[in-house]
Amino acid sequence: MPKYFDIHSHLNFGDYDKDWDEVIGRMRETGTYTIVVGTDYESSKRAVELAERYPEIYACIGIHPVDSPLPTLPLIRGGQGWGELVKHPKVVAIGECGMDFFHQDKERDFERQKKLFLEQIDFALAHDKPIMIHARDAYPEILEILETEFPLGNSVSKLRGNVHFFAGDLVTAKRFLKLGFTLSFTGVITFARNYDEVIRSVPLESIMVETDAPYVAPVPYRGKRNEPSYVVEVAKKLAEIRGEDPERVRAALVSNALSMIM
Ligand code: NI
């Protein structure tokens, strides 16, 4: 049974090559599990390989909206490799998929990103998996797609998932919750106060924690390479912001993560 669950990390990236055993060692010391998230085919395959080797690692496979070079269709539905990867029992979600108009121009790139996102939603539904959403400067666009295509929420559509690295306001948060999505928070909550209202206002059952390692390490590791065991700091801060018992919050966060991977 995990003690902490980092639902979004990139241990599949090259950042961990030099001290891999230490990183895994710190996960074991803290009882931390993680979902390793792919951003293209190669990194998704690597995530599955890691999940195969380590009991505390699960995999999420998919295509980041603005990976470089920019991905185009058809990538997933017709792609043999993806069809094989998704059958692995430790593949627990599809993504990270979504939209990003911070890194790409909306006018020029909207249609491509929308198709790529919808294709991954179809793939997730076909294999009964949740999606892991990446959204940057794109909450209104993503919500419009989801609310138009799946207006009745996940009890009817079966589409479910998590909004990774949630950085929106309370109105945005509530729209995602209404569709049956959960929100996850990163180390950013240890040093920025912008999300406290959302964190206090949404039900604990709808919240997950993640590191998005190697990016955005929490205090006291800020500025260093991030890693899954640091999710302990995110979980502690979340309990503090909510004014709730840290042990109760820790246990709830683990059970929320387990409900996503079962
Ligand atoms: Ni990520």
Q: If you measure from the C-alpha of residue 210 to the centroid of ligand 1, how many angstroms do you get, rounded to a whole number?
A: 10
Confidence (pLDDT) at 21: 98
In the predicted structure, residue 86 carries a pLDDT above the cut 90 = yes
User: Would the pLDDT of 64 be above 90?
Assistant: yes
Summarised one tens digit per residue, pLDDT across range 187-224 is 999 999 999 999 999 999 999 999 999 999 999 999 99
Q: How far is the CA of 8 from the centre of ligand 1 (A)?
A: 6
**pTM attached to this predicted model:** 0.95
Ion ligand 1 residues within 5 Å by Cβ: 212
Using the mean position of ligand 1's atoms as its centre, give its distance from the Cα of residue 73 in Å: 21
Known binding positions for a divalent metal cation: 8, 10, 96, 134, 164, 212
Which domains can be identified in the chain, with CATH numbers? 4-261 (3.20.20.140)
Residue 215 C-alpha to ligand 1 middle, in angstroms?
8
3-state SS of the chain is CCCEEEEEECCCCHHHCCCHHHHHHHHHHHCEEEEEECCCHHHHHHHHHHHHHCCCEEEEECCCCCCCCCCCCCCCCCCHHHHHHCCCCCEEEEEEEEEECCCCCHHHHHHHHHHHHHHHHHHHHHCCCCEEEEEECCHHHHHHHHHHHCCCCHHHHCCCEEECCCCCCHHHHHHHHHCCEEEEECHHHHCCCCCHHHHHHCCHHHEEECCCCCCCCCCCCCCCCCCHHHHHHHHHHHHHHHCCCHHHHHHHHHHHHHHHHC
Annotated binding site: 8, 10, 96, 134, 164, 212
